[in-house]
Amino acid sequence: MAQLAGAREKFLQVEASLSDPAVLADPPRYAAAMKEYRRLAPLAEKAAALDRVQRAADDALHLLEESADAELRELAGTELKEARTEAEALTREITLLLLPRDPNDEKNVLVEIRAGAGGEEAALFAADLYRMYCMFAAANGFRTSMMSSTPTELGGFRAVVFLVEGSGAYSRLRFESGVHRVQRVPTTESQGRIQTSTATVAVLPEADEVEVNINPADLIFESCKSSGAGGQHINKTESAVRLTHKPTGIVVECQEERSQFKNKDKALQMLRTILYDREKREHDDKIASDRREQVGTGDRSEKIRTYNFPQNRVTDHRIGLSLHSLDAFLNGRIDAMIDALAVAEATKKIAENN
């Protein structure tokens, strides 16, 4: 693999640069080198393992062909078979690691959950999803912070926006965009009837200031009193902020902080990320007309997953995978589903590149 050889050579260069005094004295350069090192290290590790396995296969083959001892030849045949099986598995893993990565994979993400069809039950489901993602983030070492929310009296959310921070947050959560459907008996249902409700999830890679330039003249800034639960300051100070981006008509609101300045910063952060996502989608549509049909595109019109409480089942419709562990899933243990989606996407990319 010429591509693998190039990656291994690049890894050795980056590894050496981490001991270079000039790099150590330049924090941004050192940070970039460390980021590249962490990206290439798994590939270098798998490549070294493949070398060892291939040497073991060569030795076993030589023994199989040259030895006159029947017992040794039988042992060599077994070792050869095992080595070739392991080599095939390592080759598949290396192929996946060599695939082009999404440039946003290492970014923080802004997650927006909105109640869909189903009234109060949809709002309660939105709250369940918010809790699920917060628990998933905590288990994976990510940090979460509320950006904006519209709570309901029964503890649900008509809408909630939060930031997930940590290296690789987008790579792990990008498959969650779409329509999520729940089937269960609502707490508000007195007859015990199962209801189907929905919530939409949007996962947006956080945009840096250098990636999206917002002209202050294009913004309409409004301050207002906060509303909803939150403390005695609510409805007494105009700390809530609403920003309207005149060229696009996009409106964002934030009232989570007591400081108007902090709310404004968060609102700008949300607006910047939404604009970046909008530009990215337009660009993707131009270069790949079928992108929305691929696994994990994040098309919000897709009904991607069903959470069926009576059957204790969660099903992802994009890959046809069902897990009969709904309680654990809603407690943030969603890694198995995310891994399966990542493998499905990678498999499709490999087929397209062949």
Last residue of a domain, one of 77, 98, 119: 98
Q: Same domain for 28 and 11?
A: yes
Domain that holds residue 43: 2-98
Residue 290 lies in a domain: no
Residue 269 lies in a domain: yes
Q: Same domain for 314 and 188?
A: yes
Q: Same domain for 228 and 83?
A: no
Residue 342 lies in a domain: yes
Residue 291 lies in a domain: no
Residue 173 lies in a domain: yes
Nearest 5 degrees, angle CA 110-CA 114-CA 116?
150
Q: Same domain for 201 and 304?
A: yes
Total domain count for the chain? 3
Q: Same domain for 139 and 268?
A: no
pLDDT at 354: 60
Q: Same domain for 18 and 119?
A: no
pLDDT tens digit at each of 354 positions of the chain:
677 888 888 989 999 999 999 999 998 899 889 988 988 898 899 999 999 999 999 999 998 988 888 888 899 999 999 999 999 888 877 877 777 777 788 889 999 999 998 899 999 999 999 999 999 999 999 999 998 888 999 899 999 999 999 988 999 999 999 999 999 988 766 677 889 999 999 998 887 655 677 788 888 888 776 655 444 444 455 678 888 888 888 888 888 777 787 888 888 888 888 888 887 777 566 544 433 333 333 334 458 999 999 999 999 999 999 999 999 999 999 999 998 898 888 878 777 766
Residue 190 per-residue DSSP state: S
Last residue of a domain, one of 53, 74, 98: 98
Q: Same domain for 6 and 66?
A: yes
Q: Same domain for 179 and 310?
A: yes
CATH at 137: 3.30.70.1660
pLDDT at 227: 58
pLDDT at 284: 60
Closest CA to 349 of 98, 88, 176: 98
Q: How far apart are CA 300 and CA 284, in angstroms?
A: 15
Last residue of a domain, one of 98, 131, 164: 98
pLDDT at 237: 57
Rounded alpha-carbon distances, angstroms, from residue 105 to 38, 68, 171: 13, 54, 4
Q: Same domain for 125 and 201?
A: yes
CATH at 221: 3.30.160.20
Q: Please tell me whether the overall predicted TM-score, pTM, comes out greater than 0.75 for this model.
A: no
Give the pairing of strands 157-165 and 109-115: antiparallel
Q: Same domain for 322 and 235?
A: no
Percent helix, strand, coil in the chain, to 5, is 50, 20, 30
Residue 104 lies in a domain: no
Q: Same domain for 244 and 345?
A: no
Residue 44 lies in a domain: yes
Residue 103 lies in a domain: no
Q: How far apart are CA 109 and CA 298, in angstroms?
A: 13
Query: DSSP 3-state assignment of 346?
Result: helix
Q: Same domain for 131 and 190?
A: yes
